[in-house]
Amino acid sequence: MNGEELKISEKIKGYLGSHGYADDFSVESIAGAGSGRRYYRISSGERSSVLQVSAEVNDDFKKFVEYSQVFKAEGLSPDKPQSGSVRILYPEVIEALIHWQNASQSLFSSHTDLWLRRFDFAALKWETDYFTDNYLKAHCGIDDIPDYVRNFYSLLAVSVDAQTKVLMHRDFQSQNIMIRPNSEIVFVDYQGARRGSMFYDIASLLWDPYVCLPLDMVKDFFEYWRFQYKGAKIYTKEDAWESFVHASLQRVMQALGAYCFLSKTKGIQKFEQYIEPGKKQLRVLFSEFRQIAKATDSQVFSFMERALL
């Protein structure tokens, strides 16, 4: 075995042995997360698995283990697309997300803790405050946040909180999506799952700054989701797009705040490269939002234009 930086416990060795792994299996570090979790690939001949090592046994880790069992029992496949055509892969990922969303009512009925874990106004407002603290203040040096911007945050949170709620992954982006050799789509990092906006996960996927899909492709894939997901039929095409843009603003502001926090405060430098792509996606989103905004103070757009230069 190589990969001396990781000590494999006897329990894990026993598990691997019972699943056909040889004693001289190899261990390779493959990724690290902003949360402090590390991932390793364990290989033996043609067998391969991914081992997650949590920084500490906290509530998130316990939720990861608990939800793994729950989702597996429900027939879901929780577990960055790395190759292949975007036009081929994204519809498959979207269909996997729809399968996840379709399971909402069954899961909420049998697991009240998921139903009670609501991504509500307070959580949504926390996201935009997080963006303010880590991007506007810490990164841009803008200390004076006008009331009209804070009012905009509140109205946005009210709008997204009012959207139809489903089982929400909460961090549904390319780095938490994997493709197995048999082309099956699986998700990771789902310990944050809860009951929230039906538009939030599809927004997270399509505006992902790790990928930066162009606007025309975002619109095409959103229409694919809207057409395929029966739950979206309660919205007109125009209302669905407006709700999607609102949820998208929420998500990308949170992501941009996270890149700043992880790179500047936690010192994980690899996240710094995603600040500019996050700004780019947010500029496009505010341009789309400007076309549908009904009661948003025009000063909000001027402020954000300056902040996102």
- Give mean pLDDT, residues 60-74: 62
Cβ(175)–Cβ(80) under 8 Å?
yes
pLDDT greater than 80 at residue 70 = no
- For residue range 114-138, what is the model confidence (pLDDT) as tens digits? 999 999 999 999 999 999 999 999 9
Dist. CA 141–CA 42, nearest whole Å:
44
pLDDT one-digit tens code per residue, 209-229:
999 999 999 999 999 999 999
**CATH 3.90.1200.10 matches 57-307:** yes
| pTM (predicted TM-score) | 0.81
Q: Percentage of the chain with pLDDT > 70?
A: 84
At 238-285, the pLDDT tens digits run 999 999 999 999 999 999 999 999 999 999 999 999 999 999 999 999
- Where residue 40 falls among pLDDT bands split at 50, 70, 90? confident
Tell me: the pLDDT tens digits for 163-219? 999 999 999 999 888 877 776 788 888 888 999 999 999 999 999 999 999 999 999
With a cut of 90, say whether residue 155 has pLDDT above it. yes
pLDDT interval class at 295 (50, 70, 90): confident
Report domain extents, the chain.
1-56, 57-307
Residue by residue, DSSP assigns 60-123 as HHHHHHHHHHHHHHTT--B----SS-HHHHHHHHHHHHHHHHHTHHHHHHH-HHHHHSB--HHH
